[in-house]
Structure 1
Amino acid sequence: MTAQQYIEPPILLSAKETADLVDVDTKPVTIALQSSLQTLHDLNAQITAQLANHCVLHKKDTPPPISITVTILSPLTGKLD
Protein backbone atom coordinates (compact mmCIF):
# COMPACT_ATOMS: atom_id res chain seq x y z
CA MET A 1 0.00 0.00 0.00
CA THR A 2 1.29 3.46 -0.82
CA ALA A 3 1.22 6.43 1.53
CA GLN A 4 -1.32 9.14 0.82
CA GLN A 5 -0.51 12.81 1.04
CA TYR A 6 -3.02 15.57 1.38
CA ILE A 7 -2.64 19.18 0.44
CA GLU A 8 -4.23 21.62 2.84
CA PRO A 9 -6.55 23.42 3.00
CA PRO A 10 -9.09 21.17 1.27
CA ILE A 11 -11.04 22.68 -1.60
CA LEU A 12 -14.74 22.46 -0.75
CA LEU A 13 -17.33 23.03 -3.47
CA SER A 14 -20.80 24.46 -2.99
CA ALA A 15 -23.85 22.87 -4.59
CA LYS A 16 -23.75 25.58 -7.30
CA GLU A 17 -20.09 24.94 -8.05
CA THR A 18 -20.76 21.20 -8.21
CA ALA A 19 -23.65 21.79 -10.62
CA ASP A 20 -21.38 24.03 -12.73
CA LEU A 21 -18.76 21.29 -12.98
CA VAL A 22 -21.40 18.72 -13.93
CA ASP A 23 -22.60 21.15 -16.62
CA VAL A 24 -19.10 21.40 -18.07
CA ASP A 25 -18.62 17.63 -17.87
CA THR A 26 -21.89 16.75 -19.59
CA LYS A 27 -21.98 19.35 -22.36
CA PRO A 28 -19.56 20.32 -25.09
CA VAL A 29 -17.41 23.24 -23.93
CA THR A 30 -18.78 25.33 -26.80
CA ILE A 31 -22.28 25.36 -25.25
CA ALA A 32 -21.44 25.22 -21.53
CA LEU A 33 -22.59 28.17 -19.46
CA GLN A 34 -20.04 30.92 -18.90
CA SER A 35 -20.49 30.60 -15.13
CA SER A 36 -19.70 26.89 -15.38
CA LEU A 37 -16.51 27.58 -17.31
CA GLN A 38 -15.54 30.21 -14.73
CA THR A 39 -16.05 27.70 -11.90
CA LEU A 40 -13.82 25.19 -13.72
CA HIS A 41 -11.18 27.89 -14.25
CA ASP A 42 -11.32 28.90 -10.57
CA LEU A 43 -11.00 25.28 -9.42
CA ASN A 44 -8.04 24.70 -11.74
CA ALA A 45 -6.39 27.86 -10.39
CA GLN A 46 -6.84 26.69 -6.78
CA ILE A 47 -5.42 23.25 -7.53
CA THR A 48 -2.46 24.72 -9.41
CA ALA A 49 -1.72 27.15 -6.58
CA GLN A 50 -1.84 24.39 -3.97
CA LEU A 51 0.42 22.11 -6.01
CA ALA A 52 2.91 24.94 -6.56
CA ASN A 53 2.90 25.75 -2.84
CA HIS A 54 3.37 22.06 -2.01
CA CYS A 55 6.39 21.86 -4.32
CA VAL A 56 7.94 24.98 -2.79
CA LEU A 57 7.45 23.73 0.77
CA HIS A 58 8.69 20.21 0.12
CA LYS A 59 11.24 20.94 -2.61
CA LYS A 60 12.45 17.74 -4.26
CA ASP A 61 12.12 15.32 -1.33
CA THR A 62 8.37 14.71 -1.79
CA PRO A 63 6.68 14.23 -5.15
CA PRO A 64 3.41 16.11 -5.67
CA PRO A 65 0.18 14.14 -5.41
CA ILE A 66 -0.96 12.61 -8.69
CA SER A 67 -4.58 11.96 -7.72
CA ILE A 68 -7.28 14.46 -6.84
CA THR A 69 -10.44 13.43 -5.00
CA VAL A 70 -13.51 15.65 -4.84
CA THR A 71 -15.85 15.22 -1.88
CA ILE A 72 -19.26 16.88 -1.81
CA LEU A 73 -20.52 18.37 1.45
CA SER A 74 -23.81 16.98 2.67
CA PRO A 75 -26.25 19.86 2.03
CA LEU A 76 -28.10 19.75 5.36
CA THR A 77 -25.35 18.93 7.81
CA GLY A 78 -22.31 20.56 6.22
CA LYS A 79 -20.38 17.36 6.98
CA LEU A 80 -18.31 15.44 4.50
CA ASP A 81 -20.12 12.51 2.87
Structure 2
Amino acid sequence: MVRVDGHAVAAFRDSDGTVTAVTARCTHLGCIVHFNEAERTWDCPCHGSRFALDEHVIDGPATEDLSAVVVEPPHR
Protein backbone atom coordinates (compact mmCIF):
# COMPACT_ATOMS: atom_id res chain seq x y z
CA MET A 1 0.00 0.00 0.00
CA VAL A 2 1.35 3.40 -0.98
CA ARG A 3 0.07 6.95 -1.18
CA VAL A 4 0.09 8.76 -4.51
CA ASP A 5 -0.96 12.41 -4.43
CA GLY A 6 -2.66 11.73 -1.09
CA HIS A 7 -4.68 8.75 -2.36
CA ALA A 8 -4.32 5.16 -1.15
CA VAL A 9 -2.98 2.96 -3.95
CA ALA A 10 -2.61 -0.82 -3.86
CA ALA A 11 0.45 -1.94 -5.83
CA PHE A 12 1.78 -5.37 -6.79
CA ARG A 13 5.10 -6.23 -8.48
CA ASP A 14 5.16 -9.56 -10.31
CA SER A 15 8.21 -11.80 -10.77
CA ASP A 16 9.05 -9.99 -14.05
CA GLY A 17 9.18 -6.65 -12.21
CA THR A 18 5.96 -5.35 -13.74
CA VAL A 19 4.02 -3.14 -11.31
CA THR A 20 0.23 -3.21 -11.33
CA ALA A 21 -1.46 -0.50 -9.27
CA VAL A 22 -5.13 0.13 -8.49
CA THR A 23 -7.12 2.43 -6.25
CA ALA A 24 -7.08 0.87 -2.79
CA ARG A 25 -10.63 1.78 -1.79
CA CYS A 26 -13.26 -0.90 -2.37
CA THR A 27 -15.96 0.35 -4.70
CA HIS A 28 -18.68 -1.06 -2.43
CA LEU A 29 -18.30 1.14 0.67
CA GLY A 30 -14.76 2.47 0.55
CA CYS A 31 -12.81 0.14 2.84
CA ILE A 32 -9.12 -0.32 2.04
CA VAL A 33 -8.44 -3.58 0.19
CA HIS A 34 -5.69 -5.96 1.32
CA PHE A 35 -3.52 -8.16 -0.87
CA ASN A 36 -4.29 -11.88 -0.63
CA GLU A 37 -0.94 -13.53 -1.38
CA ALA A 38 -2.37 -17.06 -1.65
CA GLU A 39 -5.04 -16.10 -4.21
CA ARG A 40 -3.19 -13.11 -5.71
CA THR A 41 -6.28 -10.92 -5.35
CA TRP A 42 -7.23 -7.65 -3.68
CA ASP A 43 -9.72 -8.51 -0.93
CA CYS A 44 -11.97 -6.17 1.02
CA PRO A 45 -11.92 -6.99 4.75
CA CYS A 46 -15.26 -5.24 5.39
CA HIS A 47 -17.77 -7.13 3.25
CA GLY A 48 -15.76 -9.71 1.29
CA SER A 49 -15.53 -8.20 -2.18
CA ARG A 50 -12.60 -9.58 -4.18
CA PHE A 51 -10.80 -8.03 -7.14
CA ALA A 52 -8.34 -9.46 -9.67
CA LEU A 53 -4.88 -7.93 -10.02
CA ASP A 54 -6.15 -6.15 -13.16
CA GLU A 55 -8.82 -4.37 -11.01
CA HIS A 56 -11.89 -6.36 -12.14
CA VAL A 57 -14.50 -7.57 -9.62
CA ILE A 58 -14.31 -11.30 -8.91
CA ASP A 59 -16.85 -11.48 -6.07
CA GLY A 60 -19.27 -8.90 -4.67
CA PRO A 61 -21.01 -7.18 -3.08
CA ALA A 62 -18.97 -4.63 -5.08
CA THR A 63 -20.28 -4.29 -8.63
CA GLU A 64 -17.75 -1.76 -9.95
CA ASP A 65 -14.11 -2.52 -10.71
CA LEU A 66 -11.26 -0.76 -8.95
CA SER A 67 -9.55 1.89 -11.06
CA ALA A 68 -6.10 1.36 -12.55
CA VAL A 69 -3.42 3.80 -11.41
CA VAL A 70 -0.42 4.63 -13.57
CA VAL A 71 2.76 4.34 -11.54
CA GLU A 72 5.90 5.75 -13.10
CA PRO A 73 9.38 4.78 -11.96
CA PRO A 74 11.25 7.44 -10.01
CA HIS A 75 13.42 9.78 -12.04
CA ARG A 76 17.14 9.42 -11.43
| Fold in common (TM above 0.5) | no
> Greater strand percent: which structure?
2
Structure with the larger helix share: 1
The answer to which structure, 1 or 2, has the higher relative contact order (CA under 8 A, 6+ apart) is: 1
Normalised by the length of structure 1, the TM-score is: 0.28
TM-score with structure 2 setting the length? 0.29
